[in-house]
Structure 1
Amino acid sequence: MARKIGSRYTAHQILGRGSAGTVWLGEGPDGPVAVKLLREDLSSDEELVGRFVGERTALLGLEHPRIVSVRDLVVDGNDLALVMDLVRGTDLRTRLERERRLAPEAAVAVVADVADALAAAHAAGVVHRDVKPENVLLDMDGPLGPGNAHPALLTDFGVAKLIDAPR
């Protein structure tokens, strides 16, 4: 069942659920996107919404090949959503659960990609604060690297920082 997110996006299918909300496969004016719809209890917290909107510039300005880009932030009624580039693949946690381990060359490539993403974020003054396998996406459409590793992209910038911030 399709769900309208703001005036520009439609969420079609759930891709996954996390502690902060649900990620949907969506459609926007420029094609497919991932839409992270925050939990209703979070989106109804006025202070959190204010901090979330305040982080808009940093999140939208964070552009790097190893970072999942945030394209838009939607605050509409009870909906609070991040609209991001769609990465076709899986997260590192799922891959490790399925395969138990990565080849050493692939592990080094994934860590190098994540380190590259973190260096770029830190240079832009953005702190992730929630680096974990679930927040590392493996891009199945990207070129294979050492050890047949798919490019690793870091996602969920700012969300953990905003949720965990002192009140």
Structure 2
Amino acid sequence: MQKTILSSDQTLQKIKRIAFEIYEKNFEEDGIVLAGITGEGYEMARLLEVFLKEISQLSVQLMRIDLNKDHPHTSPIQFDTDKELLIRKVIIVVDDVLNTGRTLAYSLSPFLGISLKRLQVAVMVNRAHHSFPISADYVGYALSTTLNEHIQVKLSGEDIGVYLS
């Protein structure tokens, strides 16, 4: 059985609030890069881009981080943007759920070889079961759950929201 944690309106409001926080911390920048992890992370980055363009004059570049979330250590991590375009930029890596931190740890690793201005992390839900030393700069909703519970974030289609099963 699936339980609604955040409705569509609540979910979009949380993402809009994150957009305001991103703008507040980066208002002096010429622009930022929203690097969404394939799946709902990319969808959240896309929504953040829309909200940031509504509330600010920031130049916002959207990019996708492709990786196998189940086996990130065995498959290459790829960007849909040339790494040269990321030099001296503020990068915000976006994902739907921060659970153990494994996916984010692997997705951050390619940025270590690039001279960035700043690297930040935004997530919709922080479950706080961290096995890796990863924390988020921007969190939509912090939720304590058991390891057996599953959080699903849906950011496209008709049933946008956050669900617990």
Provide TM-score, normalisation by structure 2.
0.30
Bigger CA radius of gyration: 1
Q: Work out which structure has the larger RCO, using CA pairs closer than 8 Å and 6 or more positions apart in sequence.
A: 2
